[in-house]
Homo-oligomer: A and B are copies of this chain.
């Protein structure tokens, strides 16, 4: 039995990622404010901590206070010295190769982002510049494969789901994998790991040696959702919105498993895109699925969507319960439509340029009382705009309910005031209540108390 918890070791990468300039090495070692050391250390630790069950960044950082990472140049390339790293990342003292790769992916993406601040986008709109950056990062990470037919299935869902749900995600991944599909997730445990595991077995049976298991993360969540080592392409986007954009531009089909509020937010993000007029000609396979026994989650979400955004929104997705084979064949048909559409319109297979993402969904939402009050939760606006507003409201409510800064803000300033229709506000309340009852949130049923209320006065700017 293993007893040691920390390991100190040196690793070198297997391939060309280790060609760094002294200038880059210096930046990675720079502990000053502008330097990359702190960010790199934090992401590296997250990557090394993949076997652990801790799911808060703070707990991880605290437990491995003594962790350090140093970079040095050798005649054959770069070497990383890991000091007091989590022992779970090692087998008999040697770093698991998949984790080794992840370390150098982190390094690659942090350096790229640092190198690219501003610049080189003259003539592009703000939205276009963000999309261009997402494209550049994916290309630099070698994630764009122009000669492969559309087959990248993005899987979303909770990272702390129950055993039956986890097994179900494996079965769905297996059926997708049997049909040659690749998997892309947010790269943590649960619904982000299961499909990859299932697909790995299926790809082995189909002798698909280049199966892709893409994990897209960002520095803010990577510690809580450590990439599992099956991920063979890890990409660290600079923030949550660019991460979401990377999913929808890279993916060809989308499967949503049960999750919590985060998953509901992602659904609203995607509906905010799909409901736009200019995106409606595009085939966009979107399937919600779970095992028998998990219907409630999607019932709740579906009801909420129909009540607030209407039938047109509900037509964007399909709900399939307890049928991995059905999910896979439906997805296969969907991908065939995507392929035909891309071919017909000359759109590239590897990056969905045609999809229009409004700037609002590309920018970060900070859930302050002011920002919440400025939201407009009314059906008297285009449904795609309401979807985007709801996504923000949901984000703020979760903060107010369970996140520390949010709870403190509520204690100080009282509940958030939301503007809009009473019906919409009420639906929000029902949605949250249901999640609590289904144990999808870290809150007890009895404790639930809405942290928001309908604003009576007209909005003050």
Contact = CB atoms under 8 A, between A and B. Distances in A.
Given A120-B115, A350-B19, A146 B76 contact: yes
A225 B2 CA distance: 36
A179 B92 contact: yes
A73 B346 contact: yes
A146 B77 contact: yes
Contacts of A204: 98, 200, 229-230, 232
A4 interface: no
Contact of A1 (B21, B128, B232, B323): B323
B178 A91 contact: yes
Copies of this protein chain in the complex: 4
Contacts of A144: 16, 19
Interface in A1-54: 1-2, 14, 16, 18-19, 21-23, 26
A129 to B, nearest CB: 9
Interface stretch (A290-298, A324-332, A451-459): A324-332
A349 B75 contact: yes
Interface string A318-357: 0000010110010010000000001101111111010000
Interface string A83-103: 000000001100011100100
B146 A16 contact: yes
A235 B178 CA distance: 24
A206 interface: yes
A142 B348 CA distance: 25
Given A76-B147, A147-B76, A343-B75, A201 B205 contact: no
A444 B98 CA distance: 49
A146 B16 CA distance: 7
A209 B207 contact: no
A132 interface: yes
A295 to B, nearest CB: 18
A460 to B, nearest CB: 41
A197 interface: yes
B77 A207 contact: no
Given A2-B325, A22-B353, A120-B115, A98 B207 contact: yes
A74 interface: yes
A124 interface: yes
Contacts of A92: 179, 329, 332
A121 interface: yes
A91 B19 contact: no
A70 interface: no
Contacts of A76: 146-147, 348-349
A232 B136 CA distance: 26
A132 to B, nearest CB: 6
A4 to B, nearest CB: 13
A145 interface: yes
A135 interface: yes
Contacts of A179: 91-92
A403 interface: no
B96 A178 contact: yes
A147 B77 contact: yes
A139 interface: yes
Interface of A: 1-2, 14, 16, 18-19, 21-23, 26, 73-77, 91-92, 96-98, 101, 115-116, 119-121, 123-124, 128, 132, 135-136, 139, 142, 144-147, 178-179, 197, 200-201, 204-209, 229-230, 232, 323, 325-326, 329, 332, 342-343, 345-351, 353
